[in-house]
Amino acid sequence: CGSPPPRSKAPLSEADFLGALPAVNTTCITLGVLWVLRNEPLDMVSPPGTPPDLKISQGTPR
């Protein structure tokens, strides 16, 4: 999974920096899951207890 964070502020090599990053496939999977969870309410119907959409079928009210 990776090495523990450094305990002191020493110069960082490029290899150390790249070693701290997650694998590309892990990042893609995580972003995909977050995208689905974020957009889930857009795909759902109205929650219970909300009034149905009003549909005007008889013209203008008097």
The per-residue pLDDT for range 36-57, each reduced to its tens digit, is 888 766 555 666 666 666 555 6
Domain membership of residue 35 as a residue range: 14-43
Q: What's the mean pLDDT when you consider all of the chain?
A: 76
pLDDT bucket at 3, cuts 50 / 70 / 90: confident
- pLDDT at position 30 over 80: yes
Residue 22 lies in a domain: yes
Contact 11, 28 (CB under 8 A): no
Residue 9 lies in a domain: no
Length of the chain: 62
Instruction: Report the domain count for the chain.
Output: 1
pLDDT of residue 41: 61
Residue 6 lies in a domain: no
Q: Phi/psi class of residue 59: alpha, beta or left (left: φ > 0; alpha: ψ in -120 to 50)? A: left
pLDDT of residue 28: 93
Residue 52 lies in a domain: no
Q: What is the DSSP string of 1-62?
A: --PPPPSS-----HHHHHHHSPPHHHHHHHHHHHHHHHHHHHHS-PPTTSPPPP---S-S--
